[in-house]
Structure 1
Amino acid sequence: MTPEELATAIAAALSAAVDTGELSVDVPETVRVERPKQKGHGDWSTNVAMQLAKPAGKPPRDVAAAIAAHLTQTSGIAAVEVAGPGFLNITLDAASAGELARTIVEAGVSYGQGQSEAGRTVNLEFISANPTGPLHIGHTRWAALGDSMRRLLDASGADVTSEYYINDAGAQMDKFAASVLARLRGEPTPEGGYPGAYIDDLAASVREQRPDVADLPEGQALPVVRDLAYRAQLDDIRGTLEDFGVHFDVWFSEATLHDGGAVEQAVARLREQGHVYDDGGAVWLRTTDFGDDKDRVLIRADGVPTYFAADAAYYLSKKDRGFDEKIYLLGADHHGYIGRLKAIAACAGDDPEHHIEIKIGQLVNLDGAKLSKRAGNIIELRDLVSWIGADAVRYSLERYPADSPLTLDGEELRKQTNDNPVFYVQYAHARTANVARLAAEDGVDRGDGFTPSLLNDPTEATLLATLGDFPRVVAQGAELLEPHRVARYLETLATAYHKWYDTCRVRPLRDEEITDTHRTRLWLNDATRQVLANGLTLLGVSAPHRM
């Protein structure tokens, strides 16, 4: 019996209590079940009686008792206990609990997926680094978390689009082009320019495509250098992210907002909404009406649009492209953007509490990392991946909430010991694969038999209950945009598996006859492998078969 099937059984028991007149209450569409926090409190627990006590006009324990009387008659349920203020603690019989192993194996990669976020149309924007240099450790946390959020939303039925906003407009792009051109000509880096050694690589790329560019007049050379160097640097960013397992559905250029007139159109649309005014020769957006600390300039007195104007045009672009929800993942130094972005949403006629969500990620420090010789005084993402490995970097970043400051130890993450969480989880997966491989050599075949009632060892009950909790963890991770819930769950699952492995054998001893116990345990082993793989996939981390 899966948690979903149990929830349906509880709802049916509640309906039966209503039909007999024991309770007078509307039966909720969904009933939530969860794993009890303490051992000995059954396999699953629900607080539905406490939720319905007030509308039912009865004490919670009386409501629970009425439900329990009908629930105990349900096939597959061994016991129902009314506990505390009105909890229902439910114990499944071994056969019903064990059936979950077959359910998981047959579901395969789809186990854990659901429709809890169906109906949501989400634009998820993250990283959005300037294309004037390589990605560094400051971008790494959102690269990992943002991609896993995308995977969680997708697995939970949302229509989600991941988007990278390319900040390719403004003065920094002019300084970028001037820096590359200076390097081509053997000149010093211009004031305020980019001194990193990676500029040498970009200059070489530009020279290969346009050998004559350094000899052109500066007014002709700069646009060519800007375009070619920009494309080369953007390709480097794309490649670095691909190596890190991060995919974007859309790469949106800020320059297109300016070149296509979208900024001017956005100002006009916001003026029609009644939120734009003129003062001192500049054009302002009255964002203080919606909680911002001050009104924001859209167009300066010299006629030049501000970054804020581009932000407004970009928000309207997302709205026009049909995204009901816009999620922004911003760096630790962007707290000031929360009020102004929500004000843009309100000025555009949206509900800031529904149509926009801004998450701020805290900084990451990594002990032992070396600064990049190529990029200067930063730690490059590509160097992290080369040194520690994409799996270890991603998993370590994803197992903590985004709003918690984080210091990682690079050398510890490289160790293959059980103290290293990513190794611990991946090793559990590799162990399940090894068990299946050796069992096959011994002649144990899942297809020859499955008797779920044989999964009656206490470690099997714990492992099965943990496996059954996976869909809830995925749904909650998607709802709250918290991938760390999946990582911590996988560690709990790995612990439950290792304890089961130490207690229950899948392979027969020496000349021992192969029985349905071996075959049924192989189903449980393979179900665990599937859930570990599915969970690691949601984190963008590989599930190795050998370690």
Structure 2
Amino acid sequence: MKHKIKSLINSALTGAYNNGDLNSPETDEALPEVLIEEPKVETQGDYSTNIAMILASIQKMAPQKIAKAILRNINDHDSFFDKIEIAGPGFINFFINKAAWYPILKEIHHMDLEYGAENIGKGKKIQVEFVSANPTGPLHVGHGRGAAVGDSIANILNFCGFNVEKEYYINDSGRQINTLGRSVFFRYKELFGKDIVFPEDCYQGMYIVELAENIKSINGDNFLNIEEETAVNNCARFAAEKILAEIKEALESFGVQFDNWFSEQSIFDSGKVAKAIENFQNKKIIYNKEGALWFKTSDFGDEKDRVVVRNNGLTTYFASDIAYHQDKFNRGFERIIDIWGADHHGYIPRIAASIEASGVNRNRFDVILIQLVNLLRDGLPVAMSTRAGEFVTLNEVINEVGRDAARFIFLTRNSDSPLDFDLELAKKKTNDNPVYYVQYVHARISSIIRKGKENGVADINWNAEAVNMLKEPEEIDLLKSMNRFPAIVKQSAMRLEPHRITFYLMNLASSFHAYYNKHRVLNDDPLLSCGRLYLVLAVKKIIRNGLGLLGVSAPEKM
């Protein structure tokens, strides 16, 4: 609809320039873009534009006069509009004829699984890296939100024509892995009656004890009879591999599958970290100060320079991240999207600085920050203690509320806002539960269609006479809502905001419920029943497509 109105306005402007109603622009570049908006107030029409006010300074003419010139030159041969009016200082409001909405139904049924997709990506190669939790403990609910956001963004970008690869970066090198090994080894020694003062900087929680018990069952007391450093390394390798396997299993049960699992250790083993440091040293971007190596990130917009190699010779996380992001672009990605926890906000400028220093435009690098999840039960906070290693794992949430509810609720707010996740609400089979509210529409329509078949309506196809009977206000509202879906998907892809689709589906579900509660789809008029079946089947297809982008199922029965 917006495209059609925009085209009509542009044609009207051309006509107005040609016949002297408006002054011809000196160049096409001087023409502002025609923007079409949906007014929030119904009395202001279906669509509105402020183009007359934008042109006022260029034309040296009152907006009302410009608006009148545009209206005189609009050729509405198809009776697309019921009326067009000029309002306020020069807004042009368009009221669409009911019949003009009907072709949307034909498009939805024709496009089917592809309805909503617009090829804005044109095969552009994009990498989305998300979750990337250290293999030092189970995934928690915060990781679940990041997984839902990352996976949905990848789905949406794929749907819009991008060539997307999903990657998990395994932090299997450095201090945190050594701390994991020490934690398990100390618990292992305790199992043999050794008197241990467990360090506060080690990983807490029963899962560490369980890992130690696993090692004991396999190796007995062998690790007590070797060098402690070797024992710690062995414990670290065993624990990290087991935790990573559990992470993969949890993500798979959450419906997330990665195209690539990238090892941090691999960029050390391949020499890419050392090579990146050497190259920047040669360019005088990395310098020596008091025995440590510093990156001149302040030359590239960061607030201060950053250490890449400490004076003890150990590299920092930043050093491996420099090499890792260089490797991403070397693999041919035109754009990379990292999804991090909100506590990594200060880390963005230094990574962006390293990318720019590598000769790559920093605009090809995006970071989405995931805010905290507040876990509730019946509105009350669920007690958790990070210090004691007690937290609710993603697996526990999935097991309690189900994958669909978890993913949908994680996506009900923008990722940069904290999220309240109520476990009891997520299990309810009522309209208070947002995923149930949307999925029920799909199941309800499936039931209606089954009943239609029982009544002899086997094929639901375009019938102009039947569709022309869709004149109820709630039917037109549904058509308008369905027309918005492609624009919502496009906005979600361009802004990397999957919650827009979640909101849209909830609004579409609301429009359907309002319609269904007031009108019978299957009624005494066979022709009207045919038109309404065609209408609600289109709603079902959009619900299915939208839920699919979020990684949520569309059940036939509930």
TM-score of the aligned structures, taking structure 1 as reference length: 0.90
Of 290, 306, 309, which residue of structure 1 is paired with 2:316? 306
Shift of 1:165: 1.4
Q: Which residue matches 2:21?
A: 22
Q: Check if 1:294 corresponds to 2:294.
A: no
Paired AA for residue 109 in structure 2? V
Query: Is the Cα–Cα contact under 8 Å of residues 213 and 224 in structure 1 kept in the other structure?
Result: no
Distance, in Å, in 2 between the alignment partners of 1:389 and 1:131 is 24
Instruction: Choose 10-19 or 395-404, whichever is displaced more.
Output: 10-19
Distance, in Å, in 1 between the alignment partners of 2:98 and 2:20 is 33
Query: Is the Cα–Cα contact under 8 Å of residues 134 and 380 in structure 1 kept in the other structure?
Result: yes
Shift of 1:464: 0.6
1:71 counterpart SS class: coil
Distance, in Å, in 2 between the alignment partners of 1:123 and 1:110 is 22
Distance, in Å, in 2 between the alignment partners of 1:328 and 1:345 is 13
Paired AA for residue 355 in structure 1? R
Structure 1: unaligned runs, 5 residues or longer: none
Of 519, 522, 530, which residue of structure 2 is paired with 1:504? 519
Q: Which residue matches 1:194?
A: 203
Of 468, 473, 480, which residue of structure 1 is paired with 2:483? 468
Instruction: Choose 320-329 or 3-12, whichever is displaced more.
Output: 3-12
Distance, in Å, in 2 between the alignment partners of 1:161 and 1:226 is 29
Shift of 1:359: 2.9
Q: Can you list the C-alpha shifts for 1:271-318, whole angstroms capped at 9, x where unaligned? A: 344321111121111111223222111112222211111121112112
Distance, in Å, in 1 between the alignment partners of 2:473 and 2:175 is 65
Q: Check if 1:441 corresponds to 2:441.
A: no
Shift of 1:322: 2.1
2:134 counterpart SS class: coil
Q: Give identity over the alignment, percent.
A: 39
Q: Check if 1:93 corresponds to 2:92.
A: no
Shift of 1:344: 1.7
Paired AA for residue 271 in structure 1? Q
Paired AA for residue 391 in structure 1? D
| 1:495-534 paired onto structure 2 within 5 Å | 495-508=510-523, 512-515=524-527, 517-534=528-545
Q: Which residue matches 2:337?
A: 327
Q: Which residue matches 2:40?
A: 37
Distance, in Å, in 1 between the alignment partners of 2:123 and 2:65 is 37
Q: Give RMSD over aligned pairs.
A: 2.9
Shift of 1:129: 0.8
Distance, in Å, in 2 between the alignment partners of 1:496 and 1:138 is 32
Shift of 1:506: 2.0
Shift of 1:484: 1.8
Distance, in Å, in 2 between the alignment partners of 1:469 and 1:15 is 28
| 1:96-107 paired onto structure 2 within 5 Å | 96-107=100-111
2:202 counterpart SS class: coil
Query: Is the Cα–Cα contact under 8 Å of residues 129 and 167 in structure 1 kept in the other structure?
Result: yes
Query: Is the Cα–Cα contact under 8 Å of residues 106 and 462 in structure 2 kept in the other structure?
Result: no
Of 165, 168, 176, which residue of structure 1 is paired with 2:172? 168
- Relative to structure 1, the CA distance from residue 59 to residue 533 in structure 2 (aligned partners, 3 Å threshold; closer, same or farther) is farther
Paired AA for residue 296 in structure 1? R
Shift of 1:461: 1.3
- Relative to structure 1, the CA distance from residue 414 to residue 293 in structure 2 (aligned partners, 3 Å threshold; closer, same or farther) is same
Q: Check if 1:401 corresponds to 2:414.
A: yes
- Relative to structure 1, the CA distance from residue 205 to residue 8 in structure 2 (aligned partners, 3 Å threshold; closer, same or farther) is farther
- Relative to structure 1, the CA distance from residue 214 to residue 534 in structure 2 (aligned partners, 3 Å threshold; closer, same or farther) is same
Q: Which residue matches 1:318?
A: 328
Distance, in Å, in 2 between the alignment partners of 1:437 and 1:70 is 49
Q: Check if 1:343 corresponds to 2:343.
A: no
Distance, in Å, in 2 between the alignment partners of 1:49 and 1:250 is 52
Q: Which residue matches 1:492?
A: 507
- Relative to structure 1, the CA distance from residue 342 to residue 514 in structure 2 (aligned partners, 3 Å threshold; closer, same or farther) is same
2:461 counterpart SS class: helix
| 1:104-503 paired onto structure 2 within 5 Å | 104-118=108-122, 120-183=124-187, 186-187=191-192, 191=199, 192-199=201-208, 201-203=210-212, 214=223, 217-218=226-227, 221-352=231-362, 354-368=363-377, 369=382, 376-444=389-457, 445-447=459-461, 449-451=463-465, 452-503=467-518
Query: Is the Cα–Cα contact under 8 Å of residues 11 and 30 in structure 1 kept in the other structure?
Result: no
Paired AA for residue 271 in structure 2? G
Distance, in Å, in 1 between the alignment partners of 2:245 and 2:298 is 40
Shift of 1:468: 0.5
Structure 2: unaligned runs, 5 residues or longer: none
Q: Can you list the C-alpha shifts for 1:206-245, whole angstroms capped at 9, x where unaligned? A: 6787789647724555544433432221121111112112
Q: Can you list the C-alpha shifts for 1:253-279, whole angstroms capped at 9, x where unaligned? A: 111121111111111222344321111
Paired AA for residue 340 in structure 1? R
Q: Which residue matches 1:73?
A: 76
Shift of 1:134: 0.5
Query: Is the Cα–Cα contact under 8 Å of residues 330 and 361 in structure 1 kept in the other structure?
Result: yes
Distance, in Å, in 2 between the alignment partners of 1:291 and 1:424 is 46
Distance, in Å, in 2 between the alignment partners of 1:342 and 1:111 is 36
2:468 counterpart SS class: helix
Paired AA for residue 531 in structure 2? T
- Relative to structure 1, the CA distance from residue 151 to residue 4 in structure 2 (aligned partners, 3 Å threshold; closer, same or farther) is farther
Paired AA for residue 124 in structure 1? V
Query: Is the Cα–Cα contact under 8 Å of residues 273 and 348 in structure 1 kept in the other structure?
Result: no
- Relative to structure 1, the CA distance from residue 212 to residue 53 in structure 2 (aligned partners, 3 Å threshold; closer, same or farther) is farther
Instruction: Choose 292-301 or 174-183, whichever is displaced more.
Output: 174-183
Query: Is the Cα–Cα contact under 8 Å of residues 283 and 298 in structure 1 kept in the other structure?
Result: yes
Query: Is the Cα–Cα contact under 8 Å of residues 327 and 357 in structure 1 kept in the other structure?
Result: yes
- Relative to structure 1, the CA distance from residue 266 to residue 362 in structure 2 (aligned partners, 3 Å threshold; closer, same or farther) is same
Q: Can you list the C-alpha shifts for 1:1-46, whole angstroms capped at 9, x where unaligned? A: x444444444444444444443424397975534321113333333
Distance, in Å, in 1 between the alignment partners of 2:197 and 2:79 is 74
